[in-house]
Amino acid sequence: MAYFQWADDMVIDNGPIDQDHRKLVEQVNALHTATTEGRGQEVVGALLEALIHDTVQHIQREEQQMAALGYPHLEQHQKGHALFVADLHGLRTKYQSGGITVAAQLSTLLRDWLSLHIRRYDKEMVGFIRQKNRQSRPAAPARRPKALLN
């Protein structure tokens, strides 16, 4: 069983955002597998670099989409993203300094952050998009009784 499983309640757009999230979930699971097999220190450096790169690209895509939609909580979302990236950079620094617990810390950070961020903050964006779509649809014409149509 995977350390962190993708679930239906994490679906955001059935497109690029979900693809990014799924890739991050796969990376979390790869790191956890390596850690449980005693290979965490071997793989954490390269995986950490890939995670930072992929996370930054994902964040840029997500924030561009939010800005284009006029998402009202973009600034708050950006702050959360910036804190997460700072945590990743902090773990990279710790790893480069010889920290031996970085793999386990990174697994936990990623699992917890992805779960909370997707299920709460990204879902808020989905709710905003749905509401915006409902408001932009033209109202259906009122039905008149047949007698009034003649």
pLDDT tens series, the chain, 150 aa: 678 888 888 898 888 889 999 998 898 889 889 888 988 888 999 999 999 999 999 999 999 989 998 999 999 999 999 999 999 999 999 999 998 888 889 888 988 888 888 888 888 988 888 888 788 776 555 555 454 444
Helix axes 40-69, 74-96, angle to 10 degrees: 160
Buried b (16+ CB within 10 A) or exposed e, 105-117: bbbebbbebbbeb
Q: With a threshold of 0.85, does the pTM exceed it? A: no
